[in-house]
Structure 1
Amino acid sequence: MRVIVLTFALLACVVGDAEDRNWNQFRGPDADGTSRAKGLPVTFEEGSPSILWKTPIDGRAWSSPVAWGNQIWVSNSPEVQNLTPEMPKLDAPLVLSAVCVDYETGKITHDVKLFEVDKPQYVHPTNTYGSPTPYVEEGRVYVHFGSFGTACVDTRSGKILWKRNDLECNHFRGPGSSAIVYCDLLYLSLDGYDFQYITALNKFTGETVWRRDRDVNFGTTDGDGKKAFSTPVLIEVDGRQLLVSSFAAATIAYDPLTGEPVWTVMHGGVNAAGRPIFTKGVLYINSADGPNPLIALSPKGTGDITENILWRSSKSIPKRPSQIVVDDLIFMMNDAGVASCLDAKTGREIWTKRMGGEYWSSPLYAEGLIYCFSQEGTIPVFKAAREFELVANNHLDDGFLASPAVVKSSLILRSKTHLYRIEKVADAK
């Protein structure tokens, strides 16, 4: 019976993957920040005709927008003043919610209250209670707030289908890892100060199917050195599906249906936030705070495959933004506003350009161009090429910490205060 169920689930996954080109998850349908869209806007500014709508989103949350059909979803959390490492004292419970915006009009169609947290953990001022990005599919959106709660919402009615708030983890600085779906499973990464594990829930009921603790030597007993914020990625190697999950010190590939570890690579680092990228048989992993944080890996074999590391790099590597891989080139914008291009086969630096500003959101690739989004509101666009060429240097009123989404031929951008739909129009250059 188990074989029959798993076989059916795998068939369902194949069909779903073939049909799905919605911006359904963090970094899009291919989980790598690339878009196949044509005719996206390149130049725009506040008040220009390219901005079709601009909708205020009250609160303070860095989750990125996801979209299915004409619905755009973000998770949301309130502004909390005077945060201290001691337990925040609130006048009222902390309300965590999910907001749906109509693609055509920019109007909010659902604002669903999901959790009331009476005694929230401390969240660092650079983070929020609503930083993980939702995952959306036909009829359902999965909204994750780390250990503060996870819920499934009916996208048509806004009805809560199930929710959990019993997943243990002291994030210590706040949550960051986003949820993803494969077959009938919803995967959550909880790498905190006290507990570090990955778990799979039944996406229809919210019940736990499996849980795996991070069984590695972190090289420290300090929980602050065991935290991570990365989102897993699903890849296929030699006909086998792998759930690849990066965290402090290591990356592990799991069997996505059973949670059994397949291989482990020990690379060091802590606070990993970038999402791994798999292309042309090579896996690129960013371990954030490590001596050589960017590695290229052949993801074949079982057990400890650390010897499969092809190269390492420490030059201008971002700690929070993920990379973009296009053909045989890696493009990055690091936290301090340094853009760079590496040879994907060797890790050799091809060019570096200091742009200035502070960048935490992950970049976007479309039609030969790289879009980056700064906390100051600057949006440089440059060619994805072996020579740096700045094509546009846009600016919007408020800054960006969320990563972009693409719906049809529109950019969907979440600033600190608003959600934008930006599209190339006849009057815009």
Structure 2
Amino acid sequence: MLILLLSGPLGAAENWTHFRGDQAGRADAAKLPTDIGEGKSVKWKVPIRGKGWASPVIFGEQLWTITATVDGSKMWALCFDKESGKTIHDILVFENEEVRFCHPTNSYASCTPAIEDGTVYVHFGSYGTAAIDTKTGKKKWERRDLDCDHWRGPASSPVIDGDRLIVSYDGFDVQYVVAFDKKSGETIWKKDRGIDYGTDNGDRKKAYSTATVIEHKGRRQAIVPSAMETISYNPSNGEVLWRVRHGGMNAACRPLFHNGLVYITGGDGARAMVAVAPEGSGDITNSAIKWEFSKSVPRRASQLLVDGHLYMMNDQGVASCLNADTGEIVWQQRAGTGEFRSSPVYANGLIYCFSVDGSGVILKTGSTFEKVASFEFDSGFQASPAISGNKMFLRSITDLYCIEAE
């Protein structure tokens, strides 16, 4: 499977197979309602027990996500019928006698699954990864032998690429990227980051990134941000193709690719966002960074690329639109209240943004700022939405919603 993150027109899609979907948070043809909120355009709503920030993924009629107890002692995979909200599978995947600390703003179930026909891959960081048969709910394989002290809890999501499942482990103690054989769970390759972090403080070495797989000028690349650097790997064998140094830590936004540039967010760092030409080999920092931007860049919520514009909502509710080729500001405006950690989604000319306190806004894409609507839900959002057809699926802190025009 090749994940191409582009900004041109896209058709309607029923499947949403990864964190940010198959097209970087976009479902261009979806016709979603603008009158949304608690009790508005809600087709169904079901509670989700435990605590988990993992986003929903969808294949066919099934919607999957994961959850865990607050203390991390038990971890589940949950499957729902996307039309009715009825539970199809409720699977206890892992039990843990010992768990490491998880920051209250994170959870033990923050890694979004990856799904394809017949199999869903659930990942809980160093606590384990498993492939589950989507029909029977039985495990096909599991791996619990890769150690990493995530320090504040895991959050990187797995990515399917061909016969591989690519996952990053950027912890306090060790930092590496792994490709599993998706059929057997065996390790195809494992590559230590090899980054000069400039410190012995492991807190400055951690990250929560999800790979983006692209093909550029005939070369396939798995681009995986970390603290201080982003590294491009050959997804077949783990060979390092290039690395770019941008500084920072806690990188969480998934990279985007458009018109020969990769857009990388470094998390907490001086170069908050850089646009990089994914060419050359070795350290390409001095030659490949085409522009950088640092004003009101989100630390957690991934960006959107639509019609040559880069849209983002930062943690404090400031929305920005940049020219994707130059990095110049098209507009920047405070759009929402509360804190925004959920990544926005795009559908049919509109951007939907959800905050931790349950409020949110709908913005119109284009060269001028326009707020279409504001809304409120009973509970806040850490997970990012998924879209299938003309339905949007929201995971709040307490519930799972299906949103559809009435």
**Do they superpose with TM above 0.5?**
yes
Contact conserved, 2:2 with 2:214, CA < 8 A, in 1?
Answer: no
Matched, 1:38 2:30: yes
Q: Is the 8 A contact 1:41 1:411 kept in 2?
A: no
Match of 1:324 in 2: 304
For the residue of structure 1 that corresponds to 2:310, the secondary structure is strand
CA contact (8 A) 1:37 1:406 kept: no
Aligned to 1:202: 181
* Cα displacement string for residues 221-261 of structure 1 (whole angstroms, at most 9, x for unaligned residues): 11111000010100011011100000001111111010001
Which of these residues, 370, 380, 398, is aligned with residue 379 of structure 2?
398
Instruction: Pick the aligned partner of 1:243 from 222, 243, 258.
Output: 222
* Residue equivalent to 1:6: none
> Could you tell me which residue of structure 1 aligns to residue 327 of structure 2?
347
SS state at 2:156 partner: coil
**Residue ranges of structure 2 left out of the alignment (5+ in a row):** 6-10
Does 2:381 correspond to 1:389? no
Aligned to 2:345: 364
Residue 320 of structure 1 deviates from its aligned partner by: 0.6
Any idea what SS the aligned residue of 1:35 has?
coil
Distance in 1 (CA, whole Å) between partners of 2:266 and 2:64 is 29
CA distance in 2, matches of 1:211, 1:14: 20
SS in 1 for 2:203: helix
Q: Out of 36, 56, 77, which is 1:65 matched to?
A: 56
Q: What is the aligned partner in structure 1 of residue 128 from structure 2? A: 149
Matches within 5 A, 1:69-80: 69-80=60-71
- 1:134 maps onto 2:122 in alignment: no
SS in 2 for 1:100: strand
Report if the CA contact (8 A) 1:65-1:404 is conserved: yes
1:21 Cα offset (Å): 5.8
Between the two proteins, the alignment pairs up a number of residues equal to 399
Matched, 1:28 2:7: no
Instruction: Return the index of the structure with the highest Cα Rg.
Output: 1
How many Å separate the matches in 1 of 2:274 and 2:400? Answer: 34
CA shift, 1:155, in A, is 0.2
TM superposition shift of 1:395? 1.4
Counterpart in the other structure of 1:335: 315
Cα distance, 1:348 vs structure 2: 1.6
Q: How much is the aligned-residue C-alpha RMSD, in angstroms?
A: 1.8
Normalising by the residue count of structure 2, what TM-score does the alignment of the two structures yield?
Answer: 0.95
Alpha-carbon offset, residue 368 of structure 1: 1.1
Amino acid at match of 1:63: A
CA distance in structure 2 between the aligned counterparts of 1:248 and 1:47, rounded to whole angstroms: 41
What is the identity percentage for the equivalent residue pairs of Structure 1 and Structure 2? 47
| CA distance in structure 1 between the aligned counterparts of 2:12 and 2:84, rounded to whole angstroms | 26
Q: Which amino acid aligns with 1:419?
A: L
Aligned counterpart in structure 2 of residue 308 of structure 1, from 272, 288, 295: 288
Contact 2:337 2:359 in 1 (8 A): no
2:275 corresponding residue in structure 1: 296
From the superposition, tell whether residues 96 and 40 of structure 1 become closer, same or farther in structure 2 (CA, over 3 Å): same
Which residue number corresponds to residue 405 of structure 2?
424
CA contact (8 A) 1:20 1:29 kept: no
Equivalent position of 1:89 in the other structure:
none
Letter of the 1:57 counterpart: I
Q: 1:127 to 1:368 in 2, by over 3 A?
A: same
The Cα shift of 1:14 comes to 6.6
Once the two structures are superposed, the pairs formed by residues 136-285 of structure 1 within 5 Å of their partners are: 136-285=115-264
Which amino acid in structure 1 is aligned with residue 42 of structure 2? I
- 1:197-225 deviation line (CA, Å, top 9, x unaligned): 00011111111111000012111111111
Structure 1 unmatched runs, 5+: 1-12, 81-92
Question: TM-score scaled by structure 1?
Answer: 0.90
Runs of 4+ in structure 1 over 2 Å off: 13-21
Deviation at 1:15, TM superposition (A): 12
Equivalent in the alignment of 2:8: none
